Amino acid sequence: MFKSNNPFLSDKRFLKSKSASGSEQVHEATVIGYEDTMTISGTMNKSFLMLLLLVAGAAVTWSMAYSGLNPIVPAFGGAIVGLILVIVASFKPQYSGYLAPGYAVFEGLFIGGISAIFETMYPGIVIQAVGATFVTFIVCFLLYKYEIVKVTEQFKSVVIAATLAIATYYVVSWLFSMFTSFVPVHYGNSMMSIGISVFVIIIAALNLFLDFDQIEKGAQQRLPKYMEWFGAMGLMITLVWLYVEFLRLLSKLSSRN
């Protein structure tokens, strides 16, 4: 049973089931040809393609913002459509080859819009957030590749619990702030708020280890080829979350200067 802290990758499509004879474990969908199965290199290639599509989408709303147009509508429209595509893909992973590229483009609209807003407020913050996200990804990948950090069941449990706690806190605080005068503690630039952002970034980074492990296990199980897109989509979700959290942290630090 493989579980990922990333809700998208923790889908039952990655589970193993016993064969009729009970002598070995195979994926629910019988796979015959190796050329039609999921590979790590194929997943990473698709992740890189999705990154290019995301950057292209981001360039659209970024250019709109610097042309004097309001990027809010396409940005949040892209976020909503991206979320819908993720939900559909979680139930219909066989369509990931179409849904994953679409997610990258629409999520790019969202990323471009909020990036332009943050850049206007704090010049230079976007390149810092991009650099921090890239460095975090490389460090986590190397730590996983050389087995310096091993993804055990206890490791997964801790990360999953922390992520659920963060998600619950965000949702509850958002609802309270919508209908009351309550101001969530993670708002503003207090040391407590900065500390929360650092904690969230650490948990988001730990998600990468679980995603790497999930992709590797999927390749070992010889899952269908479309699961490369599914895995790449899950990894992109984590990277987008990590980037947004870096933007939030850097903006808090910049506002204290």
pLDDT band at 36; cut points 50, 70, 90: confident
Six-digit token pair at 216? Answer: 């590797």
The pTM (predicted TM-score) of the whole model is 0.85
| Domain contains 147 | yes
| Domain contains 237 | yes
- Domain limits for position 96: 12-255
Listed as own residue / partner, the contacts of 30-37 with beta carbons closer than 8 Å and 24 or more positions apart are 31/222, 31/223, 31/224, 34/222, 36/224, 36/225, 37/219, 37/222, 37/223, 37/224, 37/225
Six-digit token pair at 198? Answer: 């650092």
| Domain contains 243 | yes
pLDDT tens string 175-200: 888 887 777 788 888 899 999 999 99
| Domain contains 39 | yes
| Domain contains 6 | no
| Domain contains 111 | yes
Tell me what pLDDT residue 8 has: 56
| Domain contains 24 | yes
Please choose, from the candidates 163, 222, 136, the residue with its C-alpha nearest in 3D space to the C-alpha of residue 4. Answer: 163
| Domain contains 4 | no
**What CA–CA distance (Å, rounded) separates 238 from 257?**
29
Number of domains, the chain: 1
